[in-house]
C-alpha cells in the first residue's frame, strides 16, 4: 500500500493544493498517494466525502496544511490539523498568500512550517516525505512550482483586497459602484475625513489600474461642514474587474 500524504485546504485554495499534489507526484515518481479533498481523483463520484476524508486522515503518513490568513480561521482546517497532531505524524503548515510562519496561531505555530513561494523552504519538505516512504531524498527543480504559486497568490490576494476595497466604498455610499458600472466618472463633494478615507484605499486600486481619486478644487462651506470637490475616475482595468466572477459587488 502506498503511503498517503493528506493535503488539508479550504475550497478557495484548491488550485494550490493541486500544485502541491503534482509536485509530490513528480518528485517521488508516483510512489506516494496524495489525498486532496477537492480533487475528483481523490474522491470519485458516488463516494461519501466525509468518510473518505476520515479514512485518509486515519491512514496518512504526512499531513500538509495550506495556511493563509483566510484558511487559518476556518474550523475545518484546525480540525484536520488536530487529527494529524493526535496521531503524532508529521504535520507541516505550508504558508502562502501573506501568511508567515511566525504569524501562525496556536497550535499551528508549534509545528515546523514552510513557505510555498520559497525554493529553500520547499526543499525542507523533501526529507520528510522521503522518510515516510523510506526512500532517498530526490533532487527536484522547484522553479515551475514557485512560478505557479506566485501566480496563484497574485490572483488570490488581488481579489481579496479588491473586494475589500469596493466593500468599503459600498459602505461609504451605495450609489458609487452602480454609477461606476454605467461607465461614468464621479464628481463628489467630500469632507476632509472622507478624503482621507478614499486616500487610504485608492493606492491598491490605482496600482491595479482600476480607480483613481483626486481633488479637483472648489470649496463649499455649509452648516454641516466644509466640502471639497473631488473626482473618482475610472481606469482602463475597471470593466474587466466588474465582469469577473470573483467580483462580488
Q: Domain coordinates of the chain in residue numbers?
A: 3-140, 174-243
Task: Answer whether 149's CB lies under 8 Å from 23's CB.
Answer: no
Residue 194 Cα distances to 168, 200, 213, 221, 247, angstroms: 12, 10, 12, 15, 24
Grade residue 78 by pLDDT with cuts at 50, 70 and 90.
confident
Region 204-229 average pLDDT:
92
How distant is the alpha carbon of residue 17 from its chain centre? 11
Which comes out higher in pLDDT, residue 44 or 127?
A: 127
Give yes or no for residue 46 having a pLDDT over 50. no
Please classify residue 174 by burial: count the beta carbons closer than 10 Å to its beta carbon, then call 0-12 exposed, 13-18 middle and 19+ buried: exposed
Residue 42 has pLDDT above 90, yes or no: no
Question: What does the pLDDT read at residue 76?
Answer: 86
Q: Give pLDDT tens digits for 100-139.
A: 999 999 889 999 999 999 999 999 999 999 999 999 999 9
Residue 47 pLDDT > 80:
no
Mean pLDDT across the chain, nearest whole number?
91
Whole-model pTM: value is: 0.75
* Residue 183 pLDDT level (bands cut at 50, 70, 90): very high
CATH topology of domain 3-140: Rossmann fold (3.40.50)
Q: Which of 42-46, 57-61, 136-140 has the lowest mean pLDDT?
A: 42-46
pLDDT at 48: 60
Q: Which residues pair with 34 in a beta bridge?
A: 5
Query: Which stretch of DSSP H or E encloses residue 35?
Result: strand 32-36
157 φ/ψ angles, rounded to the nearest 5 degrees: -75, -30
> How far is it, in rounded angstroms, from Cα 181 to Cα 178?
5
Locate cell 508529521: which residue? 90
Q: What is the pLDDT of residue 98?
A: 92
Cell numbers standing for residue 33: 498517494
Percent over 90 (pLDDT), the chain: 78
Query: In sequence order, which residues have a C-beta less than 8 Å from that of residue 83 and are 6 or more positions away?
Result: 57, 63
Q: What is the mean pLDDT of residues 160-187?
A: 95
Amino acid at each position: 500500500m502506498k503511503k498517503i500524504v493528506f493535503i488539508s485546504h479550504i475550497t478557495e485554495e484548491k488550485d494550490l493544493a493541486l500544485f502541491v499534489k503534482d509536485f509530490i507526484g513528480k518528485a517521488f515518481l508516483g510512489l506516494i498517494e496524495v489525498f486532496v479533498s477537492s480533487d475528483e481523483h481523490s474522491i470519485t463520484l458516488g463516494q461519501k466525502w466525509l468518510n473518505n476524508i476520515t479514512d485518509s486522515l486515519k491512514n496518512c503518513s504526512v499531513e500538509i496544511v495550506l495556511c493563509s490568513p483566510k484558511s487559518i480561521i476556518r474550523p475545518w482546517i484546525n480540525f484536520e490539523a488536530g487529527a494529524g497532531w493526535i496521531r503524532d505524524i508529521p504535520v507541516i503548515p505550508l504558508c502562502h498568500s501573506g501568511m508567515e510562519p511566525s504569524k501562525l496561531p496556536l497550535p499551528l505555530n508549534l509545528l515546523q512550517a514552510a513557505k510555498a513561494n520559497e525554493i529553500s523552504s520547499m526543499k525542507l519538505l523533501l526529507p520528510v516525505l522521503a522518510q515516510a516512504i523510506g526512500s532517498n531524498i530526490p533532487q527536484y527543480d522547484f522553479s515551475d512550482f514557485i512560478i505557479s504559486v506566485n501566480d496563484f497568490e497574485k490572483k488570490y490576494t488581488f481579489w481579496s483586497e479588491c473586494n475589500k476595497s469596493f466593500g468599503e466604498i459600498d459602505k461609504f455610499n451605495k450609489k458609487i459602484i452602480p454609477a461606476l458600472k454605467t461607465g461614468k466618472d464621479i464628481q463628489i463633494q467630500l469632507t476632509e475625513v472622507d478624503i482621507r478615507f478614499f486616500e487610504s484605499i485608492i493606492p491598491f486600486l490605482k496600482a491595479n489600474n482600476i480607480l483613481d481619486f483626486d481633488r479637483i478644487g472648489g470649496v463649499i462651506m455649509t452648516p454641516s461642514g466644509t466640502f471639497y470637490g473631488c473626482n473618482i475616475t475610472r481606469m482602463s482595468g475597471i470593466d474587466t474587474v466588474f465582469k469577473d466572477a470573483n467580483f462580488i459587488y
